[in-house]
Structure formats: C-alpha cells, structure tokens
C-alpha cells in the first residue's frame, strides 16, 4: 500500500504539463506572488504564465520560509 506522501506527490502535476499552463497567471497567483517577491526582495514580471507563476511561488516559498515542510 502506498504511503500518503507518495500518493500526494504522484497526484501533483508538473506545471509544465498543465493544460492551461500557458494562460496568464491568475489574480490570486499574482497577489501571493507579489507578497512573496516583496519579502524576498525580487521583482515579478507582469507577463508570466500560470505555470511560470506556480514555479516562482514554489521557489519563493522556499526562499522566504513560507513553504510547506
């Protein structure tokens, strides 16, 4: 039987595989990303996609300590 962490990890899709990953980032992504970027002292490009925003959020969560352990 699979461990709960294994199931969660296998259920997550890589952002580059998202069907809508090439669409512009969503409003909630934009808001959260700007919060994280401000804390990390970084800038957020205005024209990134949903997939790029998700990847940047993951990176900035690690950098700011806001990510899940």
pLDDT of residue 68: 63
- For 18-53, how does the pLDDT look when each residue is reduced to its tens digit (9 = 90+)? 787 789 999 999 999 999 999 999 999 989 999 999
Spatial neighbors of 53 by CB under 8 A, at least 6 apart, are 25, 26, 29, 30, 33
Query: For residue 69, is pLDDT > 60?
Result: no
At residue 13 the predicted structure's pLDDT band, cuts being 50, 70 and 90, is confident
Q: Which ranges in the chain belong to alpha helices (H)?
A: 4-11, 27-40, 50-64
Q: Does the pTM of the predicted model rise above 0.85?
A: no
Query: So what's the pLDDT on residue 50?
Result: 93
Give, in degrees to the nearest 5, the angle at Cα 15 between 9 and 21: 145
Other beta carbons within 10 angstroms of residue 23's beta carbon come to: 11
Residue 8 has pLDDT above 80, yes or no: no
């Amino acid at each position: 039987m699979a461990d709960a962490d294994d199931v969660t990890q296998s259920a997550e899709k890589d952002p580059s595989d998202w069907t809508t990953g090439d669409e512009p980032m969503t409003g909630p992504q934009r808001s959260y990303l700007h919060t994280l970027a401000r804390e990390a002292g970084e800038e957020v490009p205005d024209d990134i996609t949903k997939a790029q925003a998700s990847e940047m959020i993951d990176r900035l969560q690690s950098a700011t300590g806001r990510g899940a352990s």
